[in-house]
Amino acid sequence: MVVTEIFKSIQGEGTRAGLPCIFVRLTGCNLRCVWCDTAYAFYGGTKYTQDEILEKVTALASGVSLVEITGGEPLLQAETPALAARLISQGFTVMIETSGERFVGTLPREVIKIVDVKCPDSGESGKFNMANLEAMDAKDEIKFVIASRRDYEFARDFSAQHDLARRVAQVLFSPAFPDPEGKWPGLNARELTEWILADGLPVRLGLQLHKFIWDPATKGV
């Protein structure tokens, strides 16, 4: 497998935000979202066997039972489901964060799937694999990164049309964080909060905690 980095931090997003977590960031992505904050994972990386990955994770795991496989797009690598299964067999709770373009039904049932639906301003709207809705269950989460009112309305309408609040554990609306270099403006979290409240949506506001703790451009956190 090709790996960009393996590190221990806190989980920055979703319903497990704030918990200690080990991250396995795999290399490569087939999408190019405008607001992507991990473009450094598109290329390069280091080749590891699954045994080597497990060894590194275990070395970091003192007191930590949560592991997230992320990217890039982790499902581009054929060995990802097998790696997830091996981590589960070692007693870890395993999450995977994916763009939603790849089918998640190949993953072990126990994996907690954090699946994006790309909004219009991402530049990758329309790439969501609709079969993923049937492959997810009540422990999983669906996330929308929202950069504008247009994105918000898309996410609101998609959520209602597909009854997402009844399909998964949580629907997350996350404001796009401003780029440190000014490449995109981001969306004010208060503005998104007011839209959610005005429409009475059954969703959770998701803020990227790690970007408030460390410099937003910092890698490996």
User: Where residue 208 falls among pLDDT bands split at 50, 70, 90?
Assistant: confident
What is the CB neighbour count within 10 angstroms for residue 172? 22
Q: Is the pTM of this model over 0.85?
A: yes
The H-or-E segment that residue 81 falls in is helix 80-89
Q: What is the pLDDT of residues 184-203, one digit of tens each?
A: 888 999 999 999 999 999 99
Name the residue among 4, 108, 8, 112 with its Cα closest to residue 58.
8
Residue 63 identity (one-letter amino acid): G
Distance, CA of 221 to CA of 214 (rounded, Å):
8
Q: What is the pLDDT of residues 162-180, one digit of tens each?
A: 999 999 999 999 999 888 7
The DSSP code for 74 is G
What domains are defined for the chain? 2-213 (3.20.20.70)
